[in-house]
A and B are shown apart, each in its own frame.
Chain A
């Protein structure tokens, strides 16, 4: 009897362990999704990486899916220079060490071009590796300047200083008398980077910033103290250079506290209307600078959102759009370079390094070209759109 009980406990423990393994296996591991390409055929092996599990998983999943969607479309339309794409991806869990592991695994699988990473710190870590390997790297969404410090690295998204400066300019033109409070996340390079340039630029432009408060990833569930300080300082415009999940918390808590200033965010704010069960009426009047709006009505966006939703069951945010544009940028650059997958990783990288400056992408995130001047090498050249949320939808407020 006692043995039987023990056996049962062991079996149950075993079951739990298996469940755990399945839990990891289901979403990590570089799953290959080669569409109609057999193994002996010559293909472009393009790898992508992002956090598919953990806190930042919302971004990684959209990037990996956005790139996958683009790869699928490109393959259906005949591939790049006549060769199909073999698309592979890895889970970096928003961790520098795991990002390098994922990168190495994909290299073992024959990766020739790297479209990644999703978040800033892993992108910077992997950039050191791609420099050694002379592998072409295009990050869809790594936004710190360090991400594209090497000449083999390019970015699809705006960098943090651009966003901070742009936000300060926008506020000074449209709300010169605003009393401004900033609440930012000091534990992410993204938010801290925007905040730093915003503060500098705001001082230049003579904006009245009365309070600057921070929170960290560990304290982001309760922001009542920071909101209270902004309220006490008499701010009528709160600048939130943060991601949408925390912004949703701030809007809800500010409303509970009876505080209703104007809110202004950057591209990380995109996605706030999609937060499950969020009372979107709280976001009325919220302004944000974003390269992509999921409810834009141009054909490209409408089709992308429709296909993305069919394939992955959610509305894509700007991360998905950046990755989608990134895949098309690689396609355009490879076509410009007129090379085939027979070339070595290093040769592809050298060719792309030049070709990236020749291409123009009419993408989801606007018309994008890449800057070739030494100071801004590898930066995308595109204009952020300012939008305001009205009746639960984005309305353009560009002059």
Chain B
């Protein structure tokens, strides 16, 4: 029984990190209607910036996190302006998708050139150790990542529903042309979305590497794909959906690894995705859009 709860906690820990990454994916998709495959690599950049500031320059942890957030925000906005915006009006939505994959490789290879291929061990930014409840040990990083992901989802929901720029995001997500007719700057709103998504990627990167300490230029790739799955799982475009999808995915992954097969865990995770999509094509929290003739 104790080991079941330990596994559950491990699953929550993994899932909350997937959730933070998935929120970034889902926001960008909801508003810009594009899959930003470079999102996972922005996570990696965030982790490297934090690593450089904290471990190489020996500066305080908070400064590392702030630096990672600032650099990733700027990077996200720059990528959007340089690589995605010129293609937004392209005839095929594939153009921007391919560009996103290109940006992903660009970031990975740049990191390889700058930081080298040797993996680095990221020291956890969480200042306290395990919390012991009876026979259960809950790692500090797990508590922090769950709390952070909950706070971020709450804050984002408030931001979107209660503020002007947030309302503008909602409007753009619903109908971009109509929004621009109403005087909303669509380009500005999309830029803001990328800025927020990338800032969250930086936080995700720091948390990811605090919990799973190996840092290399490909660190962000697989979590990025899993988080994309989580976003689809929860209903792409929905922020609470991304949160739930991420948590469920993490728990399924760890439980299947513990109780079914450690080799088949990924196969199981993706099978679950296919099953969910067969039953609910829009994902768990996805909106069912009725086609009007």
Contact = CB atoms under 8 A, between A and B. Distances in A.
Interface of A: 6, 9-10, 12-13, 16, 19-20, 23-24, 26-27, 53-55, 57-58, 61, 186, 213-216, 218-222, 224-226, 228-229, 231-232, 245-246, 248-249, 252-253, 256-258, 274-279, 314
A1 B109 CA distance: 34
Contact of B254 (A61, A221, A224, A277): A224
A213 B259 CA distance: 11
B121 interface: yes
B265 to A, nearest CB: 6
A362 to B, nearest CB: 29
Contact of B262 (A9, A24, A214, A314): A214
A222 B14 contact: yes
A252 B121 contact: yes
Contacts of B6: 228, 257
Size range of the chain B interface in the assembly: 35 or more
Interface stretch (B24-32, B59-67, B213-221): B213-221
Contact of B120 (A252, A277, A314): A277
Nearest to A12: B82
B110 interface: yes
Contacts of A9: 81-82, 85-86
B165 interface: no
B110 A248 contact: no
Given A219-B266, A228-B3, A58 B139 contact: no
A221 B214 contact: yes
Interface stretch (B111-119, B193-201, B236-244, B275-283): B111-119
Contacts of B257: 219, 225-226
15 contacts: A16-B82, A54-B117, A55-B216, A214-B263, A219-B222, A221-B222, A222-B14, A225-B257, A229-B258, A229-B262, A245-B216, A252-B121, A253-B213, A257-B137, A276-B118
A57 B109 contact: no
- 6 tightest CB-CB pairs across the interface, nearest first? A57-B117, A225-B257, A278-B121, A276-B120, A245-B119, A23-B109
B210 to A, nearest CB: 10
A9 B266 CA distance: 40
Contacts of A225: 7, 10, 254, 257-258, 262, 265
A53 B83 contact: no
B121 A53 contact: no
B121 A222 contact: no
B214 A53 contact: no
Nearest to A53: B112
Contacts of B105: 20
Given A213-B262, A231-B3, A245-B216, 8 more contacts: A13-B83, A20-B106, A27-B113, A55-B218, A221-B219, A224-B10, A225-B257, A277-B122
B137 A216 contact: no
Given A26-B113, A58-B119, A226-B257, A219 B86 contact: no
Nearest to A57: B117
Interface string B168-179: 000000000000
B117 A53 contact: yes
Contacts, number: 132
B185 interface: no
A159 to B, nearest CB: 23
A256 B92 CA distance: 49
B262 A215 contact: yes
Contacts of B258: 225, 228-229
B157 interface: no
Interface string B129-149: 010000001010100000000
B55 interface: yes
B214 A245 contact: yes
B121 A277 contact: yes
Given A6-B86, A9-B86, A275 B106 contact: no
B233 to A, nearest CB: 17
A229 to B, nearest CB: 6
Nearest to B140: A256
Given A53-B112, A228-B6, A16 B14 contact: no
A16 B106 contact: yes
A57 B7 CA distance: 33
B130 A258 contact: yes
B211 to A, nearest CB: 8
Interface in B238-277: 254, 257-258, 262-263, 265-266
Nearest to A314: B118
Contacts of B254: 222, 224-225
B263 to A, nearest CB: 5
Contacts of A27: 112-113
B109 A24 contact: yes
Contacts of B130: 256, 258
Contacts of A26: 113
Contacts of B110: 19, 23
A58 B82 contact: no
Nearest to A256: B139
Contacts of B13: 224
A66 to B, nearest CB: 15
A216 B263 contact: yes
A248 B263 contact: no
B37 interface: no
B223 interface: yes
A399 B7 CA distance: 41
A16 B104 CA distance: 12
A53 B118 contact: no
Nearest to A222: B212
A14 B290 CA distance: 42
A206 B83 CA distance: 61
B82 A275 contact: no
Contact of A228 (B7, B121, B222): B7
B83 A16 contact: yes
A225 to B, nearest CB: 4
B51 interface: yes
Contacts of A57: 112, 117
